[in-house]
Amino acid sequence: MADIKSPANPLFLREDELRQGIEMLFFAYRDFTAKADQTLAQFNFGRAHHRVIYFVGRNPGMTVSDLLAILHITKQSLSRVLGQLVRQGFILQKPGSTDRRQRLLSLTDKGADLERKLTEEQRALIARAYRSAGADAVEGFRKVMLGMIEESDRRRFRPGLPR
Amino acid sequence: MADIKSPANPLFLREDELRQGIEMLFFAYRDFTAKADQTLAQFNFGRAHHRVIYFVGRNPGMTVSDLLAILHITKQSLSRVLGQLVRQGFILQKPGSTDRRQRLLSLTDKGADLERKLTEEQRALIARAYRSAGADAVEGFRKVMLGMIEESDRRRFRPGLPR
DNA sequence: ATTTTATGTCAGCCATGTTGACTTATTTTT
DNA sequence: AAAAATAAGTCAACATGGCTGACATAAAAT
């Protein structure tokens, strides 16, 4: 409560601090995606395929609409990669039981294998960063990240709430 | 708040915690880039232009090689967007004084205007997240992010060191 | 019975990444 | 001085993954 603007000027809101935040996000994302991209290339897949495989793996039984709401892309864009994944046997579609218009998505065994392989690399990267930063830092990391995420998606990270 | 963590179990390294880290990175980056992308579209520019404008603004006098080392793209990819920015008067090139093969890059006034406009949006987003998370959280955020960045680029974020 | 919704499809456009081959100017090495 | 290496640029072709717009089908909701 003490800080008025000038002497106790919150250091972490200085221009340079914010710029560093911007850059850290750029560099971290650049390096976070780099390894998986290599693996994906071996399958002739791209980052878009990864995102689909990832989120379907995380939310088996999700609908196409659910996926679109997460990815923030058009259904035409999604359709391209999703179609490939279905045709090549990485993802299964089955009609919804209550609403038969829906196509519920899930990974096949083959899909789950790829998902594991891809995500494992990224999990290792994060685990290393978490471990070297320590539990308190991780708590802070989560708080800041949460603040950057669109309000309606924050629920995904709050404990115990239904999806 | 009263987390009942089993004391020895490093909660923050559990599978789910790591997955949340992955997802936070995805969602934060998605939302972090969304606003600027809209602004860029008004200029018929894309995210690649933003990155060039940003880093040149941040490092006036940098060489093309410097920029390539940051972006991790090929010179042919860079050339396309850089060429547009130069031709349209957002970026200036001048031969290096000691090594005249180099093209030292800097923003024109017009370029600096656009840079400010674009970065301001992102800075505001980060500022909001920082403010609501608090100074300690920001410290933790930085630690974790740093751990995810390729070793050779971490120097950029350490205080007082020469670039 | 009509309208809305969930999903899919075709066609074409744009941005931005890639590889490969080659040029020019300049600096460094031999 | 000649040769090699480096900084930068260029042309061409290709792939990925966004986008818009128009239209189709089946099922659910009104």
For A39-108, give the secondary structure using H, E and C.
HHHHCCCCHHHHHHHHHHHHCCCECHHHHHHHHCCCHHHHHHHHHHHHHCCCEEEEECCCCCCCEEEEEC
Q: What is the pLDDT of residue B7?
A: 46
Does residue A2 have a pLDDT over 50? Answer: no
In percent, the amount of chain A with pLDDT more than 90 equals: 87
Chain C bases closer than 7 A to any CB of the protein: 5-12, 15-21, 25-28
Chain B (113-132) residues lying within 8 Å, Cβ to Cβ, of chain A: 119, 122-123, 125-132
- Nearest-angstrom CA–CA distance, B99 and B79: 20
Q: What is the pLDDT of residue A162?
A: 54
> Number of Cβ pairs closer than 8 Å across A and B?
188
Q: What letter represents residue A20's amino acid? A: Q
Q: Which 96-115 positions of A have CB less than 7 A from strand D?
A: 98-101
Residue B21, in any domain of the structure: yes
ipTM attached to this prediction:
0.91
Does residue B5 have a pLDDT over 90? Answer: no
Return the sign of the alpha-carbon dihedral for residues B138, B139, B145, B151.
positive
- Please tell me the distance in Å from B130's CA to the nearest CA on chain A: 6
Residue A50, in any domain of the structure: yes
Residue B148, in any domain of the structure: no
Residues 6+ apart with CB under 8 A from A119: A54, A57, B19, B22
- Nearest-angstrom CA–CA distance, A94 and A136: 43
Residue A155, in any domain of the structure: no
Distance in Å, residue B105 CA to nucleotide C30 C1': 33
- Please tell me the distance in Å from A159's CA to the nearest CA on chain B: 11
Residue B43, in any domain of the structure: yes
Residue of B nearest to A14 (CA): B127
Question: pLDDT tens-digit profile of B81-133?
Answer: 999 999 999 999 999 999 999 999 999 999 999 999 999 999 999 999 999 99
As for how many domains chain A has, the answer is 1
Residue B153, in any domain of the structure: no
Mean pLDDT check: name the lowest of A40-49, A52-61, A114-123, A153-162: A153-162
Structure token pair of residue A4: 């008025």
- The closest of A98, A6, A143, A36 to B24, measured between CA atoms, is A143
Which own/partner pairs from A96-102 qualify as long-range (CB within 8 Å, at least 24 positions apart)?
A: A96/A63, A102/A63, A102/A64, A102/A65
A72, B34 Cβ separation under 8 angstroms = yes
The whole domain housing B40 covers 13-131
The CATH number of the domain holding residue A114 is 1.10.10.10
Structure token pair of residue B88: 């349209």
Residue A6, in any domain of the structure: no
Residue B37, in any domain of the structure: yes
